[in-house]
């Protein structure tokens, strides 16, 4: 006698199959999950704080600065076009020897090449001045975009070379070719426009004796003296300083900033 096999309806068979698959999946997930005694889950990386750029320095007056900031027999020495590894360290040593300070008007291109000299200048108690990126003597005739790139770019190069936020209180136009636009833009970025009252003309390389004579003839209380620590051979400037620094001290002058 043949017995009839009873089979469940198809819907029940599918339900059993699905339940089995769900059970197997759940067991696999539990097996892969680390136990409380085992390795802990990877820690969530800390959230980076949002970068907040430093606010720009407050604007200053755009008028040209030609005198030292202190009254009396004070002079402000300034050095342009550096820093330079051949001359800047020698000038710094002379300044330290005579307890003198100075302002270094640096090019951004030079600061990028010799950042260690930027930090050395600051460590010696000197001040920085933005002298543009590339010393374009016709900057006053350039486009607004180019002027902005040279002035703000020079300031930025000094910050990067120093490795931290540092004050740059002055801007000096290349070759002293000023315009209202240059001084206004510099003032908008917190830099006073630094000119001079005594041009040593050391950039013409007239000889150390002539540089000394030019400074002696023009110096007076409050003078801002233009010199160079780069932009060409400056052995004459270094030699002139060896005589000028003790002479200025002997005349009762002190050294300050513009």
Catalytic residue numbers, as ranges: 80, 228
Check residue 48 and report its DSSP letter.
Answer: P
202: left (phi over 0), alpha (psi -120 to 50) or beta: alpha
Distance CA 101, CA 121 (A): 10
Check residue 5 and report its DSSP letter.
Answer: P
CA dihedral over 81, 85, 89, 90, signed as positive or negative? negative
Residue 29, SS3 per DSSP? helix
Find the angle CA(198)-CA(202)-CA(205) to the nearest 5 degrees: 150
Asked if 189 contacts 56 with a C-beta cutoff of 8 angstroms, the reply is yes
243: left (phi over 0), alpha (psi -120 to 50) or beta: alpha
DSSP per-residue codes, 217-256: HH--TTBEEEEESSSS--HHHHHHHHHHHHHHHHTT-EE-
Distance CA 210, CA 229 (A): 17
Distance CA 254, CA 136 (A): 33
């Amino acid at each position: 006698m043949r017995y009839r096999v009873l089979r469940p309806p198809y819907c029940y068979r599918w339900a059993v199959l699905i339940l089995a698959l769900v059970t197997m999946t759940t067991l696999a997930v539990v097996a892969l999950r680390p136990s409380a005694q085992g390795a802990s889950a990877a820690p969530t990386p800390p959230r980076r704080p949002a970068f907040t750029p430093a606010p720009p320095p407050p604007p200053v007056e755009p008028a040209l600065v030609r005198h030292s900031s202190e009254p009396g027999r004070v002079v402000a020495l300034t050095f342009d076009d550096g820093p330079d590894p051949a001359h800047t360290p020698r000038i710094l040593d002379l300044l330290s020897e005579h307890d003198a300070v100075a302002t270094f008007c640096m090019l951004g291109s030079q600061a990028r090449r010799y950042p260690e000299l930027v930090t050395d200048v600051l460590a010696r108690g000197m001040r920085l001045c933005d002298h543009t990126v590339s010393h374009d003597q016709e900057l006053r005739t350039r486009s607004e975009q180019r002027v902005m790139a040279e002035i703000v770019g020079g300031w930025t190069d000094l910050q990067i070379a120093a490795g931290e936020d540092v004050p740059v209180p002055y801007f000096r136009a290349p070759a002293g070719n000023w315009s209202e636009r240059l001084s206004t833009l510099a003032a908008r970025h917190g830099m006073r426009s630094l000119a001079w009252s005594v041009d040593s003309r050391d950039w013409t390389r007239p000889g150390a004796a002539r540089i000394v004579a030019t400074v002696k003839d023009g110096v007076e209380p409050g003078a801002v003296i233009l010199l160079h620590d780069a932009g060409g051979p400056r052995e004459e400037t270094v030699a002139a300083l060896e005589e000028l620094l003790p002479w200025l001290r002997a005349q009762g002058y002190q050294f300050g900033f513009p």
